[in-house]
Structure 1
């Protein structure tokens, strides 16, 4: 898609110096700049594993869930306090 972008004179001068220095076209530098900006500023999505975790209302029933109850017997008694 083509569209116009208008820069002030100082920005255009800086862009022209930069493209001469790096050997890329102005369009390529602008495209890279926009892509990098989008990468930093786009809304990020949650990791798939975390979305799956919150999708399951009872994660303790899942096959991959850790059975923390099995660990209680191995813990030392803390002054008679039970969990």
Structure 2
């Protein structure tokens, strides 16, 4: 799908320079930027491991009890996740 996006002159100049520096077209840089933004800002679903854990009414009795601290430590910056 095609659509128009309007940028101010300074942004266009910066985009042209950055795209040339990395050997991509402006359209490709814009596409990658939008895809990255969507990946960070779209509504996320719970990881399958957490879904399984919370679907069990007595998760502490499961053989594969979830270690929340290990899960948290594995996240970027060890911090909370925006869901």
Q: Same fold (TM over 0.5)?
A: yes
Structure 1 gap segments, 5+ residues each: 67-83
d(CA) in 1 for partners of 2:19, 2:60: 57
- Partner in structure 2 of residue 6 of structure 1: 6
Could you list the runs of 5+ residues in structure 2 that have no partner in the other structure? 66-83
Structure 1 length as normaliser, TM-score? 0.64
Report which of the two structures shows the higher radius of gyration computed on alpha carbons: 1
Would you tell me which structure has more helix in proportion to its own residues? 2
Q: 1:53-64, aligned counterparts within 5 Å?
A: 53-60=53-60, 62=62, 64=63
Q: Which residue of 2 aligns with 1:46?
A: 46
CA shift, 1:54, in A, is 1.1
1:60, CA displacement in angstroms?
A: 4.9
> Cα RMSD between the aligned structures?
2.0
Query: 1:34: Cα distance to partner?
Result: 0.9
Matches of 2:9 and 2:17 in 1, distance apart? 12
Shifted more, 26-35 versus 47-56: the winner is 47-56
Length-normalised TM-score, structure 2: 0.64
